Amino acid sequence: MTGAQLAALIRRKTKTDSTTYTDANILIDINLMKDEIAAKIAAAKEEAFNVTTNDDLADDQRLYPYETDVMNQLVRLELKFTASGDYVLATPIQLRQVRIPMQESLIVGEYGNESPFYFIRGKHIYILSGTIVDVTDGIQWVYRCFPVDLANITGVTDLSIDTSATELGFPREFHELWARRVSIEYKNTNNVPLSKKELDYEIDLQKAIDDFDFPNADQEIIGELPSGAYRGYDGYDY
C-alpha cells in the first residue's frame, strides 16, 4: 500500500474527505499510530526493526560520540580491535562500578579486548578495553529503528519498502490494521461510533503480531525416538 492508498483507505473507513479530515491532520495520526503499532510488534519480535551502523575506532581514543536516537534505542554495542578481527560484544557498565582511575595504563591492565565494557559519559560512550588502535568500522551500533515517518500522503512507493539500511518500511501485513487504527483515533476524537471490525482491532492486531512472530517456514524440528532398549517392551512380537 502506498501513502496515497493508505490515506484513501482511512478516509473511506471514516467517511471523510480532504476537507473534513485534512492532509495535515491525517498525516499526524498516520505517523503516531505507526509508532504505536511498531512498538507492539517490536515487543513481540525484538529483531523486527533492528539496524546497524558503524563508526571507526581511533588510535588511543576511548571516548566516542553517539547519536541520541541511536543510544535511546541501543540493543547492543559490538567492537573489533583489529581490521581482520571479529566483533565482540561490549558489556554496559555504570561508572560507579569502575574501581580504577581513568588512566590508560590502569585501564589496559584491568580490561582486555576479548571482553570489553563501556559506560555513558554525557553524549559519548567510554570504552574500557585493552589498547585501542585505528580500525575502520571498529564500532558497530545495533539499535532499534522504527519505520520512517511519512512526509506526505501523496507518495506512490509501497510503504513496506526500506528506503535505506536505516530507513525501514512498515510491514505489509499491518497496513490495513494501520488504517483501521487511524480510523479508530479519528472516530474517538469526533465521538463517532466504531464499526464491528474496529471493535475487533486489538484481537486482529494480536493475531497479526503472533503470525508475524512465527519462525521461518523452512525451519524443521526433527525428533528421534530412543532405541527400543530404552523404551521397554512394546509387544512387537505379538
Which of helix, strand or coil describes residue 201? helix
Q: Which residues fall within 8 angstroms of residue 203, CB to CB, at 6 or more apart? A: none
* SS3 state at 88: strand
Q: Answer yes or no: is pLDDT of 147 > 70.
A: yes
Listed residue (148, 149, 150, 129) closest to 139, CA to CA? 129
Q: How far apart are CA 8 and CA 18, in angstroms?
A: 10
pLDDT tens-digit series, residues 53-105: 999 999 999 999 998 889 889 999 999 999 999 999 999 999 999 999 999 99
Least confident of 62-66, 103-107, 124-128, 211-215: 211-215
Mean pLDDT of 158-175: 94
For residues 206-222, average pLDDT: 64
The pLDDT of residue 69 is: 84
Look over the chain and give the mean of its residue pLDDT values, rounded to a whole number: 90
Supply the pLDDT for residue 213. Answer: 67
More confident of the two residues 229 and 174 = 174
Angstrom distance (rounded) from CA 48 to CA 213: 9
pLDDT at 231 over 80: no
pLDDT for 204 beyond 80:
yes
Q: In the chain, pLDDT over 70 holds for what percent of residues?
A: 89
Span of 66-80, 165-179, 215-229 with lowest mean pLDDT: 215-229
User: How far is the C-alpha of 212 from the C-alpha of 154, rounded, in Å?
Assistant: 28
Burial class for 87, CB neighbours closer than 10 Å (0-12, 13-18, 19+)? middle
